């Protein structure tokens, strides 16, 4: 009670503020999402994501080494698939000589201690741009799960430490756990995108992989039949609890800043680490505002990352990972 208690005593200077700070960030809190393309010595900036590139496998490996030297210990990898390899079965997704499989092998060979979490979903491989197989005008849940198991096992065979199902099919975590165990990969973990919302914040990501749903009246024009309604809160808790029961080692909330209430709710409900994806649209907004001089780039970047950690994230998948790690090491 004032004047006996004065909150400002603990804010007098940076030394005291650092002593009583409740939340801290380190490079080990970050996972870096990476886009991989065919070719050699290839690097192409994504226009809607300044500073983020599609890289060939050889340059991806060099970047991974730099990330590890900065203290980042996990990468989440995605591949840009040639149009000629896309179909409605997703079979290229479990090609042992596919781009994803080659990338996993080369990353693990060059940097064995880096945790590699490849994306598990069919949208990069689909002629329709959906996360699953289209049948009778909709995304077929169980048929898609069969394909995802093949995909995940191929990732494990290539050397992945975790698989990261981002598809939002019902029951896929259980099917993946059973499939990995049956193939002898019981130590390969599952980081499940448990509360993945049907968000407009994903636009730049879909530009990066050319994976948006195609304009075809015979199929769904968005992903709202499997990704979550952003008006819902309790549904996120339910989905996360289901995934934990099915064998998920980590659960994810996606997007990040606009969903911090969901992060906290999920954190309070589950007994596994919670990952948060600070997504492409959130990244692009900061970049665009900073380029115009409207915001201080580094201060906003660090504030958002700290807020995600404060809300309950154990791991933050963010396109700012490298920039933030450089700042933190200074």
* Active-site hit among 86, 108, 223, 254: 254
* CA nearest to 73, candidates 330, 326, 257, 315: 315
Residue 109 annotated to the active site: no
Taking the C-alpha atoms of residue 36 and residue 76, their distance in angstroms, rounded to an integer, is: 11
10 Å Cβ neighbour count for 79? 25
Taking the C-alpha atoms of residue 278 and residue 205, their distance in angstroms, rounded to an integer, is: 12
Residue 267 annotated to the active site: no
Q: What SS3 class is residue 299?
A: helix
Could you say which DSSP state residue 21 is in?
Answer: -
Q: Where are the beta strands (DSSP E) in the chain?
A: 30-36, 43-45, 53-55, 74-79, 115-120, 134-135, 138-139, 162-165, 189-196, 250-254, 274-278, 315-318
* Active-site hit among 196, 267, 287, 322: 196
Q: Which is it for strands 274-278 and 315-318: parallel, antiparallel or unpaired? A: parallel
Catalytic residues: 196, 254
């Amino acid at each position: 009670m004032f004047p006996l208690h004065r909150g400002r005593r603990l804010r007098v200077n940076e030394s005291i503020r650092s002593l009583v700070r409740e939340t801290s960030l380190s490079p080990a809190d970050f996972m870096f999402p990476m886009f991989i393309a065919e070719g050699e010595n290839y690097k192409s900036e994504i226009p809607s994501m300044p500073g983020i590139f599609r890289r060939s496998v050889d340059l991806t490996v060099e970047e991974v080494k730099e990330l590890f030297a900065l203290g980042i210990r996990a990468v989440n990898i995605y591949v840009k698939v040639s149009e000629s390899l896309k179909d409605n079965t997703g079979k290229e997704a479990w090609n042992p000589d596919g781009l994803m499989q080659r990338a996993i092998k080369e990353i693990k060979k060059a940097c064995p201690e880096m945790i590699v979490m490849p994306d598990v979903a069919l949208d990069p491989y689909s002629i329709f741009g959906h996360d699953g197989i289209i049948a009778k005008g909709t995304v077929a849940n169980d048929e898609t799960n069969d394909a995802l198991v093949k995909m995940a096992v191929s990732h494990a065979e290539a050397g992945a430490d975790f698989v990261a199902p981002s598809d939002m099919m019902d029951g896929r975590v259980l099917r993946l756990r059973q499939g990995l165990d049956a193939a002898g990969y019981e130590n390969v973990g599952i980081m499940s995108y448990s509360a993945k919302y049907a968000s407009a914040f994903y636009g730049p990501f879909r530009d990066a992989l050319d994976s948006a749903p195609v304009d075809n009246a015979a199929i769904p024009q968005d992903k709202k039949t499997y990704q979550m309604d952003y008006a819902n809160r309790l549904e996120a808790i339910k989905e996360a609890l289901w995934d934990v029961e099915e064998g998920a080692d980590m659960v994810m909330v996606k997007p990040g800043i606009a969903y911090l209430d969901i992060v906290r709710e999920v954190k309070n409900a589950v007994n596994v680490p919670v990952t948060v994806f600070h997504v492409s649209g959130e990244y692009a907004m900061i970049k665009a505002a900073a380029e115009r001089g409207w915001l201080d780039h580094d201060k906003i970047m660090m504030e958002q990352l700290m807020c995600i950690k404060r809300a309950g994230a154990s791991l933050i998948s963010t396109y700012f990972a490298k920039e933030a790690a450089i700042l933190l090491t200074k």
